[in-house]
């Protein structure tokens, strides 16, 4: 999609000057671990809003995910927080890579301070992403890590190359407004779940029951 057309597809609820977290992924299936890190990111990075960007597909994964409509529907059932939103905007933007999506969103939302969110396991492989240096140069990046994950993630190629831009965990509230000049590790308690493990157990068969349980447990 050309830059000039991206304004037709915008994220709702946000306005210039706000800080907005973006958690991208296949969400195949979404689970309570996604909910937990989203709530932690809102607090630790002082975000006004957070969006789950449910991807049509992951270029680094060989298998095709479940239908997008199904993943969107269950993701929305899991979320009850008023500042966490679920979006299929990548399907409308026709983007396959994070750097492409961020270019268009920054153009469509001037003045918004975006923070790309990821787990420490993703940072280990971040140097394999297309135009990954551009991502670190243009938006702030928040890395949510189990305490035991920090060492291996800090040794990743991306972390070593951009070590001069790293903020400490105590500086996490300043991350969002650094605009591509910083990234930050924060330790968060994480639910020991992964989408691949849930799929292997046939977890999609009970995803709606899980969503109902999460809604009940995360009401604020």
Better pLDDT: 212 or 112: 112
For residue 99, the model assigns a pLDDT of 96
| pLDDT classification of 193: cutoffs 50, 70, 90 | low
For residue 29, the model assigns a pLDDT of 85
For residue 24, the model assigns a pLDDT of 95
For residue 172, the model assigns a pLDDT of 96
Three-state secondary structure readout of the chain: CCHHHHHHCCCCCCCCCCEEEEEEECCCCCCHHHHHHHHHHHHHCCCCEEEEEECCCCCCCCCCCCCHHHHHHHHHHHCCCCCEEEECHHHHHCCCCHHHHHHHHHHHCCCCEEEEEEEHHHHHCHHHCCCHHHHHHHCEEEEEECHHHHHHHHCCHHHHHCHHHEECHHHHHHHHHHCCCCEEEEECCCCCCCHHHHHHCCHHHHHHHHHHHHHHHCCC
For residue 191, the model assigns a pLDDT of 63
For residue 186, the model assigns a pLDDT of 92
| pLDDT classification of 170: cutoffs 50, 70, 90 | very high
- Is the pLDDT at 216 greater than 50? The verdict is no
pLDDT in tens, 100-130: 999 999 999 999 999 999 988 889 899 999 9
Average pLDDT on 134-163 reads: 88
Query: φ and ψ at 26, to 5 degrees?
Result: -80, -30
Average pLDDT on 54-78 reads: 82
- Is the pLDDT at 66 greater than 90? The verdict is no
Domain count for the chain:
1
- Is the pLDDT at 90 greater than 60? The verdict is yes
Domain that holds residue 106: 3-217
Task: Report in angstroms the alpha-carbon separations of 5 from 91, 92, 94, 121, 215.
Answer: 14, 11, 11, 34, 36
Average pLDDT on 80-93 reads: 94
Average confidence score pLDDT of the chain: 84
pLDDT in tens, 7-20: 556 899 899 999 99
- Is the pLDDT at 183 greater than 90? The verdict is yes
CATH code, 15: 3.40.50.620
Distance CA 191, CA 188 (A): 10
Q: Which of 5-9, 47-51, 153-157, 198-202 has the highest mean pLDDT?
A: 47-51
């Amino acid at each position: 999609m050309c830059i000039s057309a991206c304004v037709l597809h915008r994220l709702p609820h946000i306005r210039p000057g706000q800080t907005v977290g973006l958690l991208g992924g296949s969400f195949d299936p979404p689970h309570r671990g996604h909910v937990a890190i989203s709530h932690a990111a809102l607090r630790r990075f002082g975000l006004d809003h957070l969006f789950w960007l449910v991807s049509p597909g992951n270029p680094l994964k060989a298998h095709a995910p479940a239908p997008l409509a199904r993943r969107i529907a269950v993701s929305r059932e899991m979320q009850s927080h008023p500042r966490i939103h679920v979006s299929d905007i990548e399907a409308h933007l026709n983007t396959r890579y994070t750097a492409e999506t961020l270019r268009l969103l920054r153009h469509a939302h001037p003045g918004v301070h975006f923070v790309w969110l990821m787990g420490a396991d993703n940072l280990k492989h971040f140097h394999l992403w297309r135009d990954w240096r551009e991502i670190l140069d243009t938006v702030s990046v928040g890395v949510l890590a189990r305490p035991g994950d920090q060492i291996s993630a800090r040794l990743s190629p991306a972390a070593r190359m951009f070590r001069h831009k790293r903020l400490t965990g105590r500086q996490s509230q300043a991350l969002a407004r650094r605009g591509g000049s910083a990234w930050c590790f924060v330790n968060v308690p994480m639910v020991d779940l992964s989408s691949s493990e849930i799929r292997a157990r046939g977890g999609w068969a009970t995803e709606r029951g899980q969503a109902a349980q999460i809604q009940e447990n995360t009401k604020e």
